[in-house]
Amino acid sequence: MTQNIYQQLGLKQVINACGKMTILGVSSVTPEVMHATARAASAFVEIDKLVEKTGERVSRYTGAEDSYVTSCASAGIAIAVAAAITRGDPFRVTLMPDSTGMANEVVMLRGHNVDYGAPITSAIRLGGGRVVEVGSSNLAARWQLESAITDDTAALLYVEITSLRAEGDVGH
């Protein structure tokens, strides 16, 4: 029997009973995805055009206003934070992650400050953001969130927590 790449590296196989977890390799892919990946890897393409087309397709399927495909959750968070801070200004984009002088605060519920294989705060900082936590680890009031929003606020970050139970989401 042929060893897979992880066995060749001497790594043990684990059972993922948690769902899509970065620290466990996120998820396995279907044979169709493997085939499409192999076909894509055998050709060259202008990456900026690929990013544009894949974003358009994801938006069409999901009904989202806009989409940007990334390699992982951390990249998506960092890019989203940078986009909120730079607001489409190409010059500001060239300065990132240095957001000095820009509205760069990212307000989030303290209970949403999670680690999914990397601290979410690291991804926020990589995007130029400064974290402003609101509430306690299991409870936040609407007034706490509202009072944290200032002229320096670039974004509010909400984390869909699938492996934890948090009480008191704002608005309930």
Per mean pLDDT, which of 114-118, 134-138, 159-163 is the most reliable? 134-138
Looking at per-residue pLDDT, the higher value among 23 and 139 belongs to: 139
User: Within this chain, do residues 151 and 115 fall inside the same structural domain, yes or no?
Assistant: yes
Determine what percent of the chain is predicted with pLDDT higher than 70: 90
Whole-model pTM: value is 0.78
Q: What is the 3-state secondary structure (H, E, C) of 6-45?
A: HHHCCCCCCCCCCCCEHHHCECCCCHHHHHHHHHHHCCCC
Yes or no: say if 111 and 133 are a contact pair by the CB < 8 Å rule.
no
Structural domain ending residue among the three candidates 38, 62, 86? 62
Alpha-carbon distance of 109 to 102, in angstroms, equals 22
Could you tell me if 54 and 128 lie in one domain? no
Is the same domain home to 48 and 117? no
End position of a domain, from candidates 5, 37, 62: 62
Quote the pLDDT of residue 22. 66
End-to-end CA distance of the chain, in Å? 55
Percent of the chain with pLDDT over 90: 67
